[in-house]
Homo-oligomer: A and B are copies of this chain.
């Protein structure tokens, strides 16, 4: 399931190493995992791993980058669909939460190991995260202009809205009562309730 994150043109050895990295980092954390274990999980020699990644840090960046790019592309696609401002915010938050459930292993690593990225890698990831924040902020702002939504603090409300989706990576358990689709739908509904303008007197 998680391998759906990698673009179709990803080379087979890279695909196997990323998947092995997901497994190793999620079980032992970035610090605890070794390149030897990762190579072994991928059914490769450490030397073969090093022909693709200079270091464990490079593999972490590659995984984190793929996960963040995937999420950003999903948000960009949803943003571009025509419809009301409320529908747009609902689609964005539904898709974002569902993504964090469907790819919970990768997204958990992407969130929890941000501090393990080297500074140059971190900068790249932060830019992708800023781009996601900007899309969600713009969608909420359009809803406020439209009059359907109303918020007191656009920036922090955007952070809280993204947070509801991101934190799904922490609490989602595969095989539980709720599917990733259910979680997405519920998150979208809750966000719209949270942001909808309440008519005075209601």
Does A77 lie at the interface of the complex (its beta carbon under 8 Å from any beta carbon of B)?
A: no
Residues of chain B within 8 A of A71, CB atoms compared = none
Are B171 and A163 neighbours in the complex by a CB distance under 8 Å? yes
A190 CB, nearest partner CB in chain B, Å = 5
Whether A171 touches B159, Cβ cut-off 8 Å, given contacts A29-B30, A31-B29, A116-B29, is: yes
A32, A155, A193, A199 — most chain B CB neighbours (10 Å)? A193
Taken together as a complex, chains A and B put the C-alpha atoms of A193 and B194 apart, in Å, by 5
Complex: A68 Cα to B199 Cα, angstroms? 39
**Distance from A115 Cβ to chain B, minimum over Cβ atoms (Å):** 8
Nearest Cβ distance between residue A176 and chain B, in whole angstroms? Answer: 10
A177 to B156, CA, bound (A): 10
Q: Which of A3-41 contact B (CB under 8 A)?
A: 27-32
Cβ contact within 8 Å between A186 and B152: yes
How many of chain A's residues have a CB under 8 angstroms from any CB in B? Answer: 39
Alpha-carbon gap, A80 to B186, bound state (A):
30
Residue pair A189, B32 in contact (C-beta under 8 Å): no
Q: Does A74 contact B (CB under 8 A)?
A: no
Residue among A29, A30, A195 with the highest chain B CB neighbour number at 10 A: A29
On chain B, the residues within 8 Å of A163 by CB distance are 163-164, 167-168, 170-171
In the docked arrangement, what's the CA distance between A89 and B171, Å? 21
Does A67 count as interface, using CB distance less than 8 angstroms? no
Residues on A lying within 8 angstroms of B by beta carbon are 27-32, 111-112, 115-116, 152-153, 155-157, 159-160, 163-164, 166-168, 170-171, 177-178, 183, 186-187, 189-191, 193-196, 198-199, 202
7 additional A-B pairs beyond A152-B186, A163-B167, beta carbons within 8 Å, are A28-B31, A29-B30, A29-B115, A160-B187, A166-B170, A194-B194, A198-B202
